[in-house]
Structure formats: C-alpha cells, structure tokens
Copies of this chain bind each other. A is one copy, B any other.
Amino acid sequence: MKKPTLHDVATAAGVSTRTVSRVVNGESGMSEATRERIRAAIKDVGYLPNLAARSLVTRKTKTIGLVVGELTDPFFPELADGVMRAARRRDHTILLSATSDDANLQTEILERMASQGVDAVIIFPVFGTEPILRDLAEGGLAIVVVDAEAPAPTIASVASDIRAGAALATAHLLERGHRRVGMLSNVRSHSRWREGAFVSTLEAAGLDSSLIARAAPTLEGGRRAADELISKHPSTTAVFAYNDVMAIGALQYLQGSGRIVPGDVAVVGFDDIPMTELITPPLSTVRLDRERVGVEAVRMAVALASDGAVPDPVAIPVELVVRHTT
C-alpha cells in the first residue's frame, strides 16, 4: 500500500539507490545491462519519484504558479490553455489560484506559492499591488506579470499590444466616418493604455476626445456607461468599449432604447471573447492572442527561474476584427 521508494527498486534490482537514481534521471555511467535491469525493477514495483524529496535537495520544483483575477473572466480559459500547453512541453506543472481582485488574498496566495516552492509565478496583478510584487521579487521570487507594466527591473512582463489595439479600434471608427466618438472605460483604472491611445488618436484627427464614461467592466457597467454617455452626449455616433463584456452591455442598452446598431450608434469591443460572434449583431472587436500570451509567459517564467536573467518585455500583436456593429 505504501509507495515504493528508490530503496525498494534498489533492493529489487540488486544495486544501490544512487544507481537507481541515476537511471531515473537519465544520467550516464552504467552498463546497458544494469540500466535495463533497473528499468524493469522500476516498472515491477511501480515506482514513481517523490518530487517533494527531490525538490528538497535540488531546490527546484518544476512548478509554476498561475494567479489570475477571476476564472470566470472570459479572458482566462485561452490564457490558461496557452500556459498549460507550454508548461507541459517544458515539463512543468501549474498551481492555480484566483485573487477575486483582492490584494490581501493575492498576498496570501503568493506566500503560499512561495512556500510550495514554485520556480516562478505568472500573475495578473491586482491593481495597485505593484509595491508588494516588488518586495516579493527582491525576496527572490521569480515573477512574470501579464497585461501590466513590470513594477521592477527584476520582474518580467508580457502583454498584448493594447495601445496598438485601442488605436486600431478608434481609427477604424474614424474611417467609418464617425466624428463624435465616445469611450466606455473601466473605473478600476487598468485602462490607462486604452484611454491613452483613444485620446491621442482622436486628438491627432482634431476631434473631441472627452466623451468618456467610466463604469465597472461588466455587462451592467456597459449598460450604465452607455446610458451615461449617450444621455449626456446624444450626438455620439460611435463608442469604443474597454472590453467585449462592456460592449455587449452597451449593445443591450442601445437596442433596449430603440437604437439601431450600427445604424444609429456603432460599437467596437476589445478582447474578442468567444461569444462575440454569437450575439446579434456579431460584435466588431480587437482580437487578443491570449494563448500566445500564455505561452510567452511560461517561456519567461522558465528562463527567469533558471538563469535568473530577466527577459525583455514582450508585446503580443493584436488584430482588428470587423463584424457587424461598425
């Protein structure tokens, strides 16, 4: 019933544990015959290495922590998919946790992960926790932040090229001939990049860039922000939303108030979550390559954990997807 150890395999094969350890780790230096004999013994007794014991001496766990905000964020599944695929390719395991956007919980989670001995952490940081991350990084934890700026030179970062995406979306609206363009932004001010690109694109075209309403990045928030923006500025003919969820909320508000999309008001979202093509009308949006972000994050995490060298920040290209709301 109790698990076989190196020692069990060793006695079964008539060698020392050290020799068994060598074949388990694919080291060289024993005859083909004993190697085969040991392999057979391993299968025979059903031996599996005890990773806790191994990591106690090697100081590596081949484990990466993944810390996100909410699992139900439509952003998550593809990101996690990329992370897991890349992790498996590099023979690493993923420890998952969600912060629910709570800074204390995030700290607790990171401490637990450090205790577990993760080689690195890939994190979607709670807004405003940069100093905490900085401290942890100085304490020796390898950190890769996703979709945020690296809070310290020892922290790596991957992000979609959000600025470019927001510029793309805004410019697209201008090309369609819109001159009164609003933005539905996020109160929790993660949206600096998006707002910045929105504003500068409009200013470059000599247009009013002040039509911005802010709300929570939810369906309800989208409805509310759209209501606020349109009520205050009825002449608005197009809106760029912080993300697809808000865009869909805006769509609901617009259609609910008898407006035609895109006839009366055009809408562009951001993210290209799976449901964008299933709603009516299908949403124009900016596609983020979430899976690739995940893959890059793992690459960086592994590099950071082995060399200790901090990889350069990477921006993953985005793409405008024109459907039927613009």
Contact = CB atoms under 8 A, between A and B. Distances in A.
A1 interface: yes
A170 to B, nearest CB: 25
Given A52-B117, A115-B51, A117-B51, A46 B139 contact: yes
Interface string A156-196: 00000000000000000000000000000000000000000
A115 B248 CA distance: 45
Contacts of A280: 279-280
A94 B96 contact: yes
A77 B275 CA distance: 15
A131 to B, nearest CB: 16
A257 to B, nearest CB: 17
B72 A61 contact: no
A50 B81 CA distance: 29
Contacts of A1: 140
Interface string A31-69: 000000000000000101111110110000101001000
Contacts of A53: 52, 56
Interface string A82-98: 00100010000111111
A116 interface: yes
Contacts of A261: none
A49 B84 CA distance: 27
A111 interface: yes
A134 to B, nearest CB: 15
A97 to B, nearest CB: 7
A307 to B, nearest CB: 15
A13 to B, nearest CB: 20
A77 B73 CA distance: 8
A30 interface: no
A112 B84 contact: no
Contacts of A275: 274-275, 278-279
Contacts of A95: 93-96
A84 B96 contact: yes
Given A61-B52, A114-B48, A81 B72 contact: yes
Contacts of A278: 248, 275, 278-279
A50 B112 contact: no
A220 interface: no
A71 interface: yes
Contact of A48 (B50, B111, B274): B111
A80 interface: yes
A247 to B, nearest CB: 12
A76 interface: yes
Nearest to A81: B71
Interface of A: 1-3, 46, 48-53, 55-56, 61, 63, 66, 70-72, 76-78, 80-81, 84, 88, 93-98, 111-112, 114-117, 139-140, 248, 274-275, 278-280
15 contacts: A46-B139, A48-B114, A50-B56, A51-B117, A52-B55, A52-B117, A71-B77, A72-B78, A72-B274, A76-B77, A93-B112, A96-B96, A248-B278, A274-B275, A275-B278
